Structure 1
Amino acid sequence: MNAPDSGTPQPSLFATSDLRTTAESDPESSGAARLSPATADIPRNQHSSADATEGTLSENAALSQLLLEIARLLEEQHAGEFRVRAYRNAAATLQELRTPVREIEAAGGTPALEALPTIGRSIATLIEQYLRTGHLPLLDRLRGEENAERLFAMIPTLGPELSHRIYDALHLETLPELYAAARDGRLNSVPGIGRKRVLAIRDYLAGKIRSEVRPPAASHRNPPQSEQNRQIPVTELLSVDEEYRRRAAEGRLPKIAPRRFNPAAAAWLPILHTERDGRHYTAMFSNTARAHELNTTHDWVVIYRDDHQSDGRWTVITSQFGPLKGCRIVRGREDDCLHHYRRENR
């Protein structure tokens, strides 16, 4: 293919701006090479024309505003300055972008999004979530709006009604828990969930798990997210839990007003943003129906990880039985917790 005439101006993906494009300027950067506004490697036939209408780019603008809201909430909730700046920079990039971000994602997936100035891996993943579902789980969480029913309703073949039935019957909170219920038969007991739908849900969730697994050649450097999170010692998660409960008890944390189970719209739920060796964690008391039913809203602590390396979710509770009775444990990692406390008591 002949190179374009050097005298012919090439359309730029971005409006002129002073955004820095080096990895050093982006605390969310995954280390991948950045594309400069003049050299973004998107096929020319997918570029927006210079006179692209405002309507064509409205999704960019809407997503930019949502990222700005994330930045504002993180700042209000005392998150790290670098993290706040990362979302503001990403919002500016989307606002100035002359190509619909949906086209860029369709052409090259996550790598194409990460190649944009100031867009790191975690924000690229967030953008993909929005393009796929119309929701930003992180924003829901920061607003105090996150709930399992909304999460489940994003799965094909499930809607709000069936998601509510699943949650009401089985008290599931996460996609891994839903996958386990689909595999062990519990999901079959939910009214309206037939065998074919259970199989479809199981296949869909299995596909999501497989999609996170990288080729073996790269796995020694970047293990799958589930493996990365499994490698995080329970000591680290328990330290986040301890910091959260201590600072909440001291009244030193900002509070948000969750939408669910809060008819008075009171700002009662403390929220913590903290870091461990570059890993971002958010912690808050559980505001689920199950926690309210068992009166554990000030015992169960949900910890989220969302940074450029991985994401994850854990629940820390006070064990009510067995050798760990009275101890704080990470649900699902009881054996690791037992080893942790045995080492502590040596």
Structure 2
Amino acid sequence: MAGGLSRDLIADRLDEAAELLEAQGANRFRVRAYRMAADTVRSLTEDPAEILARDGFAGLTRLPNIGDRLARAIDEMCATGRWGQLERMRGEAEPEEVFQSVPGIGPQTARAIHETLHADTLEALEIAAHDGRLEDVPGIGPRKAAAIRASLASMLARRGRQGPDDHAEPSVAELLAVDSDYRQQAKAGTLRKIAPRRFNPGGEAWLPILHTDRDDWSYTALFSNTALAHDLGRTDDWVVIYFARDRGREHSRTVVTETRGPLEGRRVVRGREAECRAHYFAE
């Protein structure tokens, strides 16, 4: 029998994700898609890992109600035993542990990556590795960045497969609009709050979460819950936005209030500052 989680456990996780999405105000069609995928997985006569081992990623996408995005989630669970999206909705995400799955990244480097890049996923780390930001992390020079980039490419090619929208991102205008919507609703107190496990010994449900769909993008937005955000008092300013298309990997960007330079006082998408300047100057 192939390794990986059983079909019942994967189906239970898909059902749990549907329940959390519904409770957190996600689009009802997205909720229904997760429930239908859970029903499909539960009805299988073999575990998804066996399908992957025999037929590859295409074997999952040929199943009823399993598109590319949900197939990637199932693939992630089979390969790692974890599902980052579900952990995030539960408030249990531990990005440093995720980064340590990459050869050459230990605990200290994993924390430095998380705090410097505001990255939470391997996909976000891959983008930073390709656009040069990874080399800005203390302790990572060009050679180590190249090694990490190669390891990530191999890991993601095996686990997530290559898709036509893997590196696509929404415009900065769209990301800034989601950021504005999230902060307005968080201030008004209309968003469901989750209790993050990190930096929350009392288990308080303080972190607002937003799920929204715009055009063909799905977004999830939360205030940053990093050690640096807490140290600098930015837990009500830095907003992490996760986004994906149905046929692409999930990525994330962090939006912050710029504290210096020509964009001081404006909301800026980290890693896309040049586009933000063009956006604001065009206005």
TM-score, normalised by the number of residues in structure 2: 0.86
Corresponding letter in the other structure for 1:266: E
The structure that has the greater radius of gyration is: 1
* Secondary structure of the structure 1 residue equivalent to 2:246: coil
What is the Cα deviation at residue 142 of structure 1? 0.4
1:270 partner amino acid: P
| Other-structure match for 1:107 | 54
Superposition pairs for residues 25-64 of structure 1, below 5 Å?
59-64=6-11
SS state of the match for residue 6, structure 2? helix
Flag the 1:275–1:178 CA change in 2: closer, same or farther, 3 A: same
Deviation string, structure 1 residues 229-263 (Cα, Å, up to 9, x no partner): 1xx21110000000000011011111000000011
Q: Give the fraction of aligned pairs with identical amino acids, expressed as a percent.
A: 43
- What is the CA distance between 1:58 and its match in structure 2? 6.8
- Find the residue that maps to 2:219 and give its secondary structure: strand
> Shift of the alpha carbon at 1:108?
2.3
The answer (yes or no) to whether the contact 1:182–1:201 under 8 Å persists in 2 is no
Q: 2:109 is matched with which residue? A: 166
Q: 1:320 to 1:252 in 2, by over 3 A?
A: same
Residue 92 of structure 1 pairs with residue 39 of structure 2: yes
Q: Describe the superposition over 1:133-187 as per-residue Cα deviations: whole angstroms up to 9, x where unpaired.
A: 11101001101122320221222455xxx2x311444524432346757657843
Q: Which residue of 1 aligns with 2:176?
A: 238
Q: For 1:118-141, what per-residue CA distance to the aligned partner results, in whole angstroms no more than 9, with x for missing partners?
A: 111100000111111111010011
Matched residue count:
271
TM-score, L = length of structure 1: 0.71
* Distance apart, 1:325 and its partner CA: 0.3
Q: Are residues 318 and 123 of structure 1, via their aligned partners in 2, closer, same or farther at CA, if it must alter by over 3 Å?
A: same
- Paired residue secondary structure (2:88): helix
Whether the aligned pair in 2 keeps the contact of 1:182 and 1:202 (CA below 8 Å) is no
Does the aligned pair in 2 maintain the 1:57–1:98 contact within 8 Å?
no
- TM-superposed CA distance for 1:209, in Å, is 6.8
Distance between the aligned counterparts of 1:261 and 1:143, measured in 2? 15
**TM-superposed deviation, 1:266:** 0.5
The question of whether the paired residues in 2 share the 8 Å contact of 1:149 and 1:167 is answered with yes
Distance 1:136 1:168, change over 3 A: closer
SS at 1:225 equivalent: coil
Residue pairs, 1:63-212, within 5 angstroms: 63-156=10-103, 158=105, 162=106, 164-169=107-112, 171-172=115-116, 173-174=118-119, 175-176=125-126, 177=128, 180=132, 186-188=138-140, 200-208=147-155
Deviations 1:253-284 (A, max 9, x none): 11000000011100000000111113110001
User: 1:57–1:314: structure 2 CA closer, same or farther, 3 Å change rule?
Assistant: closer
Consecutive unaligned residues in structure 2, runs of 5 or more = 120-124
Cα distance between partner residues in 1 of 2:189 and 2:53: 46
Aligned residues of 1:286 and 1:297 also touching (Cα < 8 A): yes
The structure, 1 or 2, with the larger RCO (C-alpha pairs under 8 Å, 6+ apart) is 2
Pair 1:225-2:166 in alignment:
yes
* Correspondent of 1:266 among 193, 200, 204: 204
1:324 alignment partner AA: L
Contact (CA 8 Å) 1:57, 1:99: kept in 2 or not? no
Code of the residue aligned with 1:166 in structure 2: it is: T
Paired residues of 1:255 and 1:268 also in contact (CA < 8 A): yes
**Counterpart Cα distance in 1 of 2:137 and 2:204:** 39
Q: 1:312 to 1:207 in 2, by over 3 A?
A: same
| 2:251 paired residue number | 312
- What is the CA deviation profile of residues 56-77 of structure 1, one whole-angstrom value per residue up to 9, with x for unaligned ones? 9971111111111101110110
| In the alignment, structure 1 residue 294 sits paired with structure 2 residue 235 | no
Taking the aligned partners of 2:49 and 2:111, their CA distance within structure 1 comes to 35
Work out the CA distance in 2 between the residues paired with 1:57 and 1:186: 35
CA distance in 2, matches of 1:213, 1:125: 8
- In 2: Cα distance, 1:281 partner to 1:66 partner: 20
Shift in CA distance, 185/273, structure 1 to aligned 2, threshold 3 Å: closer
